[in-house]
Amino acid sequence: MLLRVETMTNEVFYINENQITYIEKLDVTKSDEKSAWQVHLAGESQATLSVNYNQITRRPFK
């Protein structure tokens, strides 16, 4: 299934949900809602997307 992901710079990507290896909180001193998050993707060259909290808490990430 393809997931629609909007980055912090308002770029929109459609990624295969099987490509997500893990999601990392970038600033542990901030609350979840205020911190940026990085979605790590598997593939030939490891890629990451920086997203806001609302992107990882909406379905199907949740």
* pLDDT given for residue 54 in this prediction: 85
Residues counted in the chain: 62
CB count, 10 Å around CB of 3? 17
Greater pLDDT, 60 or 28: 28
Q: Look at residue 48 and give its three-state secondary structure.
A: strand
Mean pLDDT of the chain: 85
| Annotated domain spans of the chain | 2-55
* pLDDT given for residue 30 in this prediction: 95
Q: Which of 60, 59, 58, 55 is nearest to 25 (CA)?
A: 55
* pLDDT given for residue 37 in this prediction: 93
Task: Give Cα separations from 3 to 18, 28, 60 (angstroms).
Answer: 10, 26, 8
Looking at residues 12-22, what average pLDDT do you find? 88
Confidence of residue 26 (pLDDT cuts 50, 70, 90): very high
